[in-house]
Amino acid sequence: MNKFEDLLKELGLLLGSNLFPDEHSTCMILFNNGIKIQIELDKSSEFLIIGSSLGELPPGNYREQILIEALKNNLFTEAGIFAFSLKKTALILFVKKPFDEINAQSLYDLLSAMNKKALPWITALKDHVCPYIPYTASSSSSSIFNILK
């Protein structure tokens, strides 16, 4: 078994599920609330890429509004960064972490945080509305120029 398989096995114990990579070194996790988060090992085997497709964004004003709100939320990156996938024309949430700096517990915590961050966005996109997410800095995070204190 390789290190990625070992990590997924340990994560599976924390999640109460059997996890293993497919032939592309990816693993899709479906959470009870319906959110899907994919974990993959990059080609160099140096990074884990963890991501979720949150929903399709049709061209137009609505897409622009969503992307503006997503950019505002990128200030707080602990639970992922929002991006736009041209291939899927979808809003995605992703994180790229050095593989040697992550263990099953830290990955579990990250997946929980991403799930929590993704849920209001998925709900809003399904309802074709703009999500309301308060933009307040937590006491543990600092802003880039200490503007949000």
The pLDDT value given to residue 132: 74
Q: Does domain 3-126 have CATH number 3.40.50.2300?
A: no
Q: What is the pLDDT of residue 76?
A: 73
Q: Could you tell me whether strands 90-98 and 47-56 are parallel, antiparallel, or unpaired per DSSP bridges? A: antiparallel
Instruction: Give the pLDDT of residue 134.
Output: 65
Question: What is the C-alpha separation between 102 and 110, in angstroms, rounded?
Answer: 10
Q: How far apart are CA 16 and CA 22, in angstroms?
A: 19
Low-confidence ranges of the chain (pLDDT < 50): 137-149
Q: Where are the domains of the chain?
A: 3-126
